[in-house]
């Protein structure tokens, strides 16, 4: 059971990547605000059923503070995340979530006092290097050309911002879990997100009618999202935030494969090279504990 957090993090990675791929398909039927909201809504039935079977912990000021600060940041990240999926290929957006653990090296230390080992830090940097090599074919135009290629993909830029926000919400989430329980926080947090996101959707949606095919298309992404929430929250309660998020970012490799097989995205070889660097980083993080 010592490394149960690793398996839980891998489950979170798989369910997140699958939910993202299915969500990208659902974007063909409606705008990003409605799809993002429906994914949250359809994650709730399974979570609320589970809520009936867990104890309600004693809550304190630290829990409410972390909860309150996380919600607006999470809403902003959801909007940017879904926009990124719409604007750019999966294989050029999801990999930049790998930057979250790098940000977490500093953010989790400031908020939680968590330190990563030297081996863990090197592993995290390998994952970051993997994201850099996504555009390795551009390097013949100059050593910094891959970075310039990133700026040409609006979805990639948005996902980098999301990665930074996630470093904050992950650390605040760990604080809330410490002062409650993993499943209690996860369920109440995402239920609150769905409620607070509703008026934003009503204001921003581009079409008044949500068709049956849209609902059907987002049901499965919502189910996978609920599984991600459960596995993520339990994993983050068992290990350092930076390590859990690093393993969870293995969803990048799965996302690249989904992009190739289901969306016919190109340049799979150069992107898989970056994914393999991320895998090396994964091994280093796992062995760091």
HSE of 92 in the Cβ direction (CA atoms, 13 Å)?
21
| Residue 202 CB neighbour total at 10 angstroms | 12
d(CA 150, CA 132): 9
What's the domain count of the chain? 1
For residues 212 and 26, the answer to whether their CB atoms sit within 8 Å is no
Tens-digit pLDDT profile for residues 168-202: 999 999 999 999 999 999 999 999 999 999 998 88
Token pair of 138 as six digits: 């551009």
Return the pLDDT at 123. Answer: 84
Residue that has been written with the tokens 């992404």 in this structure: 221
pLDDT of residue 134: 59
Domain containing 275 equals: 4-288
Residues 284 and 126 sit within 8 Å (Cβ to Cβ): yes
Distance from C-alpha of 234 to C-alpha of 7, rounded to nearest angstrom:
11
Q: Do 256 and 248 form a contact (C-beta atoms < 8 A)?
A: no
pLDDT at 219: 93
Q: Return the structure tokens found at 95.
A: 């990999």
b/e per residue 214-233 (b: at least 16 CB within 10 A): bbebbbbbbbbbbbbbbbbb
Torsion angle (degrees, nearest 10) of CA 278, 279, 280, 285: 90
pLDDT of 91: 62
Quote the pLDDT of residue 229.
95
Low-confidence ranges of the chain (pLDDT < 50): 1
Q: What is the pLDDT of residue 139?
A: 52
Tokens 């993002």 label which residue?
36
Q: Do the beta carbons of residue 269 and residue 91 sit within 8 Å?
A: no
46-78 residues labelled b (16+ CB within 10 A) or e (exposed): bbeeebeeeeeeeeeeebeebbeebbeebbebb
Under 8 Å between Cβ of 84 and 191: no
pLDDT score at 132: 65
d(CA 170, CA 120): 18
In sign, the C-alpha dihedral spanning 99, 102, 103, 104 is positive
State if pTM tops 0.95.
no
The token pair at 203 is: 């204001």
**In 3-state terms, what secondary structure has residue 180?**
coil
Three-state DSSP class for residue 69: helix
Q: How far is CA 152 from CA 13, 145, 161, 176, 253, in A?
A: 27, 11, 15, 37, 22
Q: How much is the pLDDT for 203?
A: 82
The helix or strand, by DSSP H or E, that contains position 108, with its residue range, turns out to be helix 100-112
């Amino acid at each position: 059971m010592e490394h149960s957090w690793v398996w839980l993090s891998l489950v979170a990675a798989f369910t997140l990547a699958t939910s993202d791929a299915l969500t990208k398909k659902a974007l063909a039927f409606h705008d990003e605000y409605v799809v993002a909201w429906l994914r949250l809504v359809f994650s709730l039935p399974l979570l609320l059923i589970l809520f009936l079977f867990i104890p309600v912990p004693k809550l304190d000021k630290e829990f409410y503070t972390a909860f309150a600060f996380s919600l607006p940041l999470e809403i902003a990240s959801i909007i940017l995340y879904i926009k990124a999926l719409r604007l750019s290929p999966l294989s050029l957006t999801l990999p930049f979530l790998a930057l979250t653990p790098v940000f977490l090296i500093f953010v989790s230390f400031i908020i939680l006092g968590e330190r990563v080992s030297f081996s863990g830090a090197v592993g995290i940097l390998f994952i970051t290097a993997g994201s850099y090599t996504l555009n390795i074919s551009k390097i013949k135009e100059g050593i910094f050309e891959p970075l310039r290629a990133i700026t040409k993909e609006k979805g990639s830029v948005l996902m980098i911002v999301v990665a930074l926000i996630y470093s904050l919400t992950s650390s605040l989430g760990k604080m809330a879990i410490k002062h409650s329980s993993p499943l209690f926080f996860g369920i109440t947090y995402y239920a609150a997100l769905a409620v607070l996101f509703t008026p934003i959707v009503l204001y921003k949606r581009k079409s008044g009618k949500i068709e049956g095919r849209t609902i059907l298309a987002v049901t499965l992404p919502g189910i996978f999202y609920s599984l991600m929430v459960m596995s993520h929250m339990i994993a983050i309660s068992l290990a350092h935030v930076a390590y859990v998020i690093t393993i969870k970012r293995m969803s990048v490799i799965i996302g690249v494969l989904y992009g190739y097989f289901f969306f016919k995205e190109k340049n799979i070889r150069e992107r898989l090279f970056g994914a393999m660097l991320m895998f090396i980083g994964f091994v280093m993080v796992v062995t760091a504990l």
